[in-house]
Amino acid sequence: MKFKDNNRPLILLTNDDGTNVPGIKALIELARPLGNVIAIAPDEGRSGMSHAITIKYPLLITRLREEEGFVFYSCSGTPGDCVKLALDKLADRQPDLILSGINHGSNTSISVVYSGTMAAAIEGGIHGIPSIGLSVVDHSPHAELSSAVVFGKKIIANTLQNGLPDGVCLNVNFPPVDSARIKGVKVCRQTRGLWKEEFDHRVDPLKRDYYWLTGYFDNHEPDAEDTDEWAIKNEYVSVVPVKVDFSAHHVMDKLASVYEEKIKV
Amino acid sequence: MKFKDNNRPLILLTNDDGTNVPGIKALIELARPLGNVIAIAPDEGRSGMSHAITIKYPLLITRLREEEGFVFYSCSGTPGDCVKLALDKLADRQPDLILSGINHGSNTSISVVYSGTMAAAIEGGIHGIPSIGLSVVDHSPHAELSSAVVFGKKIIANTLQNGLPDGVCLNVNFPPVDSARIKGVKVCRQTRGLWKEEFDHRVDPLKRDYYWLTGYFDNHEPDAEDTDEWAIKNEYVSVVPVKVDFSAHHVMDKLASVYEEKIKV
């Protein structure tokens, strides 16, 4: 994909909710004034797909729109597939920025591991490209997006100008409230906590057991003011820097004494 | 699931290659002498599914085998689903250990983010359960498993005895060589590198473009002796401790100066 004015910043844009939701439309409107935009999104909702990639089947893409400085594709794959395919086949050079979202639903705390939105941003980080996942904490298709639009615009412009530290992408969550109520932006860490499963057990007409995933978020530190859950509850925009190196460096020496020294050839 | 001798350690076991591959059969044989084993694996291969969870559809499970101290289910979902469903509906208490594998294929370096095998182990870590993903660096169904069997046995016994630091699980990779050639066990970090995509572009009989994922691993530090890729190439078993907190704590202050101070309400 070659744009007419190829000197503008190149922005790759995706999401995990599909091509026809308010979140991605709002993000496209934020991105287009800042550069040339290649948008490629799953052809249907792919929430909860995490960093899944399609290995056993090929990917199909369809061009939905093309205007000066903007092209929009749908893709049969996951958000991770969208980024990989765009980097290899759609962009004629390394993008200056990758944006994913605006997701309809929270990606605070441990949800970062299940999130297709964040997987796309992490994939960008793996490729050394400044990348941001943006989510509004309301999974309704009618979620209030005004905070995301007002503060997302500033965060995106800032990141395009300053870049990000190597191996780090951003997980940005917005409270689902009018932008006038936002108290500020907080750089914070992933809250310690987990989703507690409560599968809903039913029996189908063939007498087979089946299970629907349900559950609730169990916050292990609801009063910790340096966490993303606290920020959202107190009407701040949360910005969590996310690493693409998952190694637990702080326990290497301790574990070497258990696994290297005690297990000999 | 209540076992007759309920005082033995409880081990939950899964994989991402499906119920009928040599890797999971070998892991079951390693686990059974150590405790009661609940095995639940995807009903077909789910490689590259990462930490995907099934939200829009229910899960079906089928009991394949039941013997004293052992039960084996297949599940229509992902490795992450298998762990979540087993913790909620199959285990009568929190397992003492979660094992995932033995995967047919490498999960070194950045592959940890795409891996269903490792997602199951990370899900265990999220739940505070000592968890190990085990992979042999050969994706053939006929992969040489003897190193994994000999050294996996010791690593599993060690972990069951000592536990793991809170919020940490293990990513263990085995060279695909006879166990007699193994030089030792190395606790190491995830190699810096990435998969470079080279999608294979074709045109289908309806004249639509389609793309198969192919590519190669680009190792950014092939000579770094403290990495998992180096360990495997030099015929060590690699043990990478993996964190379930993805926050980049080392850049919080720096980013606060960019995002908190420059973006005001």
pLDDT in tens, B21-37: 999 999 999 999 999 99
**A195: β partners:** A217
Spatial CA neighbour of A80 closest among A98, A102, A66, A62: A98
**C-alpha angle B218-B224-B228 in degrees, rounded to nearest 5:** 70
pLDDT of residue B188: 97
pLDDT of residue A201: 96
pLDDT surpasses 90 at A2: no
The overall average pLDDT reported for chain A is 96
**The pair of three-digit structure tokens given for residue B1, joined into one six-digit string:** 């699931």
Run of H or E including A125: helix A116-126
Residues of B in contact with A262 (CB under 8 A): 158
pLDDT of residue A28: 98
Domain chopping of chain A, boundaries? 10-192+222-259
pLDDT of residue A149: 97
pLDDT of residue A265: 81
B158 to A263: CB separation less than 8 angstroms, yes or no: yes
Region A166-191: mean pLDDT is 97
Name the minimum distance, in Å, from the CA of A39 to any CA of chain B: 18
Of A56, A246, A262, which has the smallest distance from its Cβ to B242's Cβ? A246
Of B45, B155, B262, which has the smallest distance from its Cβ to A263's Cβ? B155
pLDDT of residue B64: 97
Name the minimum distance, in Å, from the CA of A6 to any CA of chain B: 23
pLDDT in tens, B105-116: 999 999 999 999
- In whole angstroms, give the CA distance from residue A15 to residue A120: 8
**The pair of three-digit structure tokens given for residue B164, joined into one six-digit string:** 């793991």
pLDDT band at A1 (very low <50, low <70, confident <90, very high): confident
Best mutation site among A54, A170, A247, A252 for testing chain B: the one with the most B CBs within 10 Å?
A: A247
In degrees and rounded to multiples of 5, residue A32 shows phi and psi of -60, -40
Of A61, A165, A183, which has the smallest distance from its Cβ to B209's Cβ? A61
Region A158-184: mean pLDDT is 96
Interface confidence, given as ipTM, is: 0.95
CATH architecture for residues B10-192+224-260: 3-Layer(aba) Sandwich (3.40)
In degrees and rounded to multiples of 5, residue B206 shows phi and psi of -90, 10
pLDDT in tens, B116-156: 999 999 999 999 999 999 999 999 999 999 999 999 999 99
pLDDT of residue A19: 97
Of B213, B244, B254, which has the smallest distance from its Cβ to A165's Cβ? B254
pLDDT of residue B264: 82
For chain A, give me the number of helices (H) and strands (E)?
6, 13
Residues of B in contact with A88 (CB under 8 A): 197-199
To the nearest 10 degrees (0 to 180), the angle between helices A146-162 and A22-31 is 40
Residue B53: asked if its preceding bond is cis (omega within 30°), the reply is: no
pLDDT of residue B262: 84
**Homologous superfamily of the A10-192+222-259 domain (CATH):** Survival protein SurE-like phosphatase/nucleotidase (3.40.1210.10)
pLDDT of residue A129: 98
pLDDT of residue B265: 81
A58 to B256: CB separation less than 8 angstroms, yes or no: no
Which residue ranges of chain B lie beneath pLDDT 50? none
